[in-house]
Amino acid sequence: MRTLAFSASITAISLVGHLPASGQVPEEPVVLEQGVPQFFVDDWLVDDRFAIKSKRNAVVHVARPPQKHAANPVYTGDSGYLSVARHPETGKFQLWTQVHESVPEPEGNFSSRYAIAYAESDDGLSWKAPNLGLFEWKGTRDNNIVIRGPRNARASGPQLLLTLPEEDRRGFSHVMTFRTGGAGKENDGIRLIGSHDGIHWDSASGVRLKHLHSDTLNSIVYDAERKRYLMTCRAKDRYRRFNGAMIDTGASRRISVLSSDELWTEWEGSPTTLLIPDEIDAEEDFHFFYGMPMHHYAGIYWGFLWVFRMNDPIHTELVTSRDGIHWKRAPKRQPLIPRGPENSWDDGMTFGGPHWVELGDEWWFYYAGHDGAHESKDRTAAIGLATCKKERLVGLRGPAGGGGVVVTRRIEWPGGDLFLNTSPFVEDESRVTVRVSDAIRDPFDGYDHDDCLPITGDSVRQRVSWQDGRTMKDFAGQTVRLEIFLENADLFTVVAE
């Protein structure tokens, strides 16, 4: 056993060398920030994890995908790729979605036009599409269209940018990226525009970020730690950009990325490929990725990967990254938003949006669902909702029959209490305790597992304490390890508050 007084000197001499910090391995001690949850979607914070009865058990990552809402679909009518957020002042839910029109061409052919439409809701379930009269669409101004492309061609793939530095908002409450096409090389590409209400968009503010025929939802996020912007897209500058045999054109439905230090400017360079379908995808003939909207939150890139079987179904899978370059797929490739059962409104395709909406202790995920596969000409689209307790997308599971332990890397405790986001997966049979130890795992006096008041409930913020009123507040500024025992329970995050 170790006493609290010795912790600083012990940890100071225990490290004989530093591993360089990377997207996958942090430099120790890991400096935590109060109020920022530390996720266990990967092993970034984990030094070790093991089962007590290790011959048959293990502590493993598990997916806990959100559950589809009973009210689905929550928005019907013409719809497609989407972005949903709450107004920063009113709290009203705002929805931007891509709508489609088929236009007759000579010789019986049809071309496609797209625009971005708007709807709003007080509760996120009952939506109203206001008659705005801003643009002509399908021969009338009686519609909810808010963005048309240059020369009224195509405007598609909307994403509201949520995590901008204030100076990059340029005074706008809303900043959106979208793609334009069909208006000529001088106009087509990935664009940016600002608005003061999310309805009336300032055309004078609009800029083209990249002339790239990336016909998907091209997603932009800001990484405050690295002070850079990342955009996921397709590498259409070199794949599928000309007619010819497949050996010449190649496959563009992959996930690539562009980066820029500045937002409102022409982005330089060529997309770098990040994700290519692998042998597990190939087992079910999912040889393509249709796109990957993403969000940046708590130091993690959250990607919503659209996994595609040519020319048939699409579903959404969660992928995560610490640096935006190296990505981890979902445990057992479990879909985040699976397709619905046969003959349901979303049995063909599900396109998850680029971020969630936090509502109390829940995360709400909106998605576009289709009742037909990609090649279907008769499919219809609607918008659905899936919900989960916040932060609970992927966690670590402590097994039955003895449980297991998650040992963190050495962390610098910033002060405040320790809270866990844990959930039992077997009711009335779960147990969670925490030991605080030094660099070589000697526990501090009074902070062992037997001293910890067991956690058995289900809450996104469960305060950890030990006998005699001890808390993690006693370790402010100290370097420690947390050793979390889990039996019949899942661990999602730890946070200092």
Q: Report CA torsion sign: 398, 399, 401, 407.
A: negative
Q: What is the pLDDT of residues 299-314, one digit of tens each?
A: 999 999 999 999 999 9
Q: Sorting pLDDT into bands at 50, 70 and 90, what band is 2?
A: low
Tokens 């600002």 belong to residue: 194
Output phi, psi for 475, to 5 deg: -105, 15
* Tens digits of residue pLDDT in 354-368: 999 999 999 999 999
Residue 21: the pLDDT is 47
Cα–Cα distance measured from residue 288 to residue 55, given in angstroms and rounded to the nearest whole number: 38
State pLDDT tens for residues 54-82: 999 999 999 999 999 999 999 998 899 99
Q: Where are the alpha helices (DSSP H) in 156-232?
A: none
Is the model's pLDDT at 4 over the cut of 90?
A: no
Distance of CA 441 to the CA centre of its chain: 34
Within its chain, how far is the Cα of 122 from the centroid?
24
Report the distance separating Cα 472 and Cα 464, nearest Å: 8
- Provide φ and ψ at 208, rounded to 5°: -95, 125
pLDDT tens profile 274-304: 999 999 999 999 999 999 999 999 999 999 9
pLDDT given at position 241: 84
Has residue 12 got a pLDDT over 60? no
> Quick one: pLDDT at residue 378?
87
Task: Look at the alpha carbons of 199, 201, 207, 213 in this order and tell me if their dihedral is positive or negative.
Answer: positive
pLDDT of residue 454: 96
Check pLDDT > 80 for residue 22: no
The predicted pLDDT at position 447 comes to 98
Beta bridge partners of 68: 386
Above 60 in pLDDT, residue 8? no
Tokens of 45: 């914070």
Rounded CA separation 383/366 (Å): 7
Q: Supply the mean pLDDT for the chain.
A: 93
- Residue pair 66/363 in contact by the 8 Å Cβ criterion: yes
Give the pLDDT of residue 6: 33
- Distance (Å, whole) CA 227 – CA 261: 7
What SS3 state is found at 228?
A: strand
Residues with Cβ within 8 Å of residue 123, at least 6 apart in sequence: 93
Among 392, 414, 385, which Cα is nearest to 478's? Answer: 414
Q: What is the per-residue pLDDT across 397-421, written as a single tens digit (0 to 9) for each? A: 999 999 999 999 999 999 999 999 9
- The pLDDT tens digits for 140-191 are 999 999 999 888 889 999 999 999 999 999 999 999 999 999 888 888 999 9
* pLDDT surpasses 50 at 256: yes
- Measured CA to CA, the distance from residue 241 to residue 252 in angstroms comes to 9
Q: Residues 438, 7: contact at Cβ < 8 Å?
A: yes
Residue 209: the pLDDT is 97
In three-state secondary structure terms, 316 is strand
- Residue (of 323, 322, 291, 321) closest to 304 by Cα position: 291
Q: How many CB atoms lie within 10 A of CB 211?
A: 14
Q: Which letter does DSSP use for residue 481 in this model?
A: E
Confidence tier at 3 by pLDDT (50, 70, 90): low
Query: The tokens of 62 are what?
Result: 């598990």
pTM of the model: 0.94
Q: List, in order, residues 6 or more apart from 492 with CB less than 8 Å away.
A: 39, 40, 64, 391, 392, 393, 394, 395, 421, 422, 423
- pLDDT tens-digit map of 428-486: 789 999 999 999 999 999 999 999 999 988 999 999 999 999 999 999 999 999 999 99
Q: Which pLDDT score, from 0 to 100, does residue 455 have?
A: 94
Q: Report the DSSP pairing between strands 30-31 and 411-412.
A: parallel
Cα–Cα distance between 330 and 66 in angstroms, integer? 13
Measured between its terminal Cα atoms, the distance across the chain in Å is 26
* Dist CA 59 CA 406 (whole Å): 8
Q: Strand, helix or coil at 475? A: helix
Smallest CA-to-CA distance from 230 within 153, 309, 327, 150 is with 327
Residue 190: which of 201, 174, 178 has the closest Cα?
A: 178
Model confidence band, residue 9 (pLDDT cutoffs 50, 70, 90): very low
Cβ–Cβ < 8 Å for 369, 96: no
Position 377 pLDDT exceeds 90: no
- Coil/strand/helix, residue 248: helix
